[in-house]
Chain A
Amino acid sequence: MATPVPAIEVEKLTRRFGEVLALDQINLSIQQGEFFSLLGPSGCGKTTLLRIIAGLDIPDEGKVSIGGVDAGGLPAHRRPVNTVFQSYALFPHLNVWENVAFGLRMKKVPPPEIEQRVRKVMALVEIEPLAQRKPNQLSGGQKQRVALARAIVNEPQVLLLDEPLGALDLKLRKQLQIELRSLQRRLGITFIYVTHDQDEALVLSDRIAVMRDGKVEQLGDAAALYEHPRTRFVSQFLGSCSLIEGRVKQRNSNSTLVETTLGELKTASAAPAREKITLAIRPEKVQLLPCPAVAGENRIRARIEQVIYVGSGTHYELRAGTQPLRAEVMNSHAGSNSFQIGQELLVCLPPEALIVLDD
């Protein structure tokens, strides 16, 4: 079977704004029907990349192919992609129905077909009762739905979403996340989703590209990025991690011994050739051992400096010597995790939870 044509193929894409390198030799291949997220802090180039795919910005170097076709010469209005803008950018002089019908009208689709397709899409995103309203009579969530309907009514090969939920409150955002995900599955359209919200990216995406300073720092599915971050940046941006500096002491076939300020730690990962390395551990993987515990492998002594109760769990800020550590424990049994501020205890950092970072 031949490999399917990628929905979007980006090769060596570079974009400069004066001295600033917004995109630096980006290579990406996004599959048909994929929910793909570009995740990164503001200024990392994610929106620029989206705009170049849409044809709203022109790269200095590199190539974009949409469905296997070089889009280099195609202006925005002839590309088979549509955008949901961060500010929604609804047409204020048109009502909801006219906003949704805009793209079909521009393409001179016959009116009866426009009527039918607009009605279908408006039903899909549940905005039929708003048809006659003007955009300034809509709430944020309603505007969001109209912006979405206005884009998908054109049946694009790829839908580009630029922080579409950024302006909404948390509860509505959570609800729309779920709707977006099921909408994408139902339509089968490739979604490229720009966000700086790591939770959103984790919830929605098949794959995520974490971007930083115009480069893709790491690419993978949610679990791969979370369980195996390759750099300090990814480990901190996606969730949080405690970082421990150390030197390689001994390399074994399926583990590495690392000398750190906390003593000798064993990790299940292979270390790079360098001698100085950084270990990372997710807070929920740090085990707080109840009192009559004995010293052992990867067990270190720490002091509790801060206890934060968050309902479903409790967060502990620990310090082992000068090394800060964070632990998160689920409150699955009432009163089971009753550690106090100032308490000294043994902490276990399991070898398989200690990740060796590349930088």
Chain B
Amino acid sequence: MKRPSIVLWLNAVVLYTFLYAPIVVVIAYSFNSAKRGGPWRGFTTEWYATLFNSSEKLSAVTNTLILAVASTAISTVLGTLLGYGLSRFSFPGKKLFSWLMYIPVVVPDIVAAVAMLMFCSFVRNWTGLLELGLTTMIIAHVTFQIPLIAIIVRSRLAGMDPAIEEAAHDLGADAWQKFRYVTLPLMMPGVLAGSALAFTMSIDDFVISFFTAGPGATTLPILIYSSVKRGITPDINALATLIVLASIIGTITVTMLQRQGRDERKL
């Protein structure tokens, strides 16, 4: 391969600095002993300690995790079934269905958030159900996670030789055994990659959570947003650093799962 020119190098350096410098600053400041930002006053892990002693922040972490785990669990099951159904069965309206699946992906978050809020209050007026809180947040997150998982699972299935499933059938597997012992294991890397992505998106989400949250259901992004209004405290930097760390782990997991998928497809 050709070696890049100096201009290209410079371009890359500027670009990556622009992308990552803010994150590096946040991480660095999370270890700065100065109370109100400003100059470097020495290394400390005090802010991490503060973080873990703050019940408000810990409950936000708990809420975030409950929200992410619950919504990812639900959307993984539903999204996988949707992706499987769309790729392996034919039924009237299939085209419309697969097209509709992309709507939650392309609709701006703010629109989805407002729509979700209105939907919840509409249902509450008629039935008294769907009081704003963790439940409504979970439902809202599931709505944007399902298509992500379904799209990934479907593309994984599309790349699979249909003869493999036929072989299972031919060798005596009934419909359930075929799904359980052949189709499911083969689409598993897609399912895991999809749910890891969905999990990350849930942890990350502010707009939709903010609109569907009720009292006592504060998540990390909401907490950070409200504390930043009162000025950035160093423990927020520590919190942000932990979120970055979690995101990096998530991204690496997704990449590795997809790579494994590619290797298996090379048959």
User: A-side interface residues toward B, CB under 8 Å?
Assistant: 54-56, 75-78, 81-83, 85-87, 89-93, 102-103, 106-107, 135-136, 150-151, 154
Contact = CB atoms under 8 A, between A and B. Distances in A.
Nearest to A83: B170
Contact of B263 (A55, A81, A136): A136
20 contacts: A55-B170, A76-B166, A76-B169, A77-B172, A77-B173, A77-B174, A77-B178, A78-B172, A83-B166, A86-B163, A87-B161, A89-B161, A89-B163, A89-B166, A92-B264, A103-B171, A106-B174, A135-B267, A136-B264, A150-B167
A306 to B, nearest CB: 43
A87 B160 CA distance: 12
Q: How large is the interface on B (under 10, 10 to 19, 20 to 34, 35 or more residues)?
A: 20 to 34
B168 A91 contact: yes
A102 B171 contact: yes
B37 interface: no
Contact of B267 (A86, A107, A136, A151): A136
A92 B174 contact: no
Nearest to A160: B170
Interface of B: 161, 163-164, 166-174, 177-178, 181-182, 185-186, 263-267
Contact of A91 (B164, B169, B177, B265): B164
A75 B170 CA distance: 9
Contact of A103 (B166, B172, B174): B172
Contacts of B263: 136
Nearest to A79: B170
Contact of A77 (B164, B169, B186, B267): B169
A81 B167 CA distance: 12
B186 A93 contact: yes
A69 B128 CA distance: 61
A255 to B, nearest CB: 52
Contacts of B173: 77, 102, 106
Given A87-B161, A89-B161, A92-B164, A77 B170 contact: yes
A131 to B, nearest CB: 18
A56 B164 contact: no
A91 B264 CA distance: 10
Contacts of A89: 161, 163-164, 166-167
Given A93-B185, A136-B266, A136-B267, A106 B167 contact: no
A150 B171 contact: yes
Contacts of B185: 93
B184 to A, nearest CB: 10
Contacts of B170: 54-56, 76-77, 81-83
A56 B166 contact: yes
A117 B266 CA distance: 30
A136 B186 CA distance: 14
Nearest to A150: B171
A307 to B, nearest CB: 45
A56 B169 contact: yes
A284 B117 CA distance: 86
Nearest to B182: A91
B182 A85 contact: no
Contacts of B265: 92
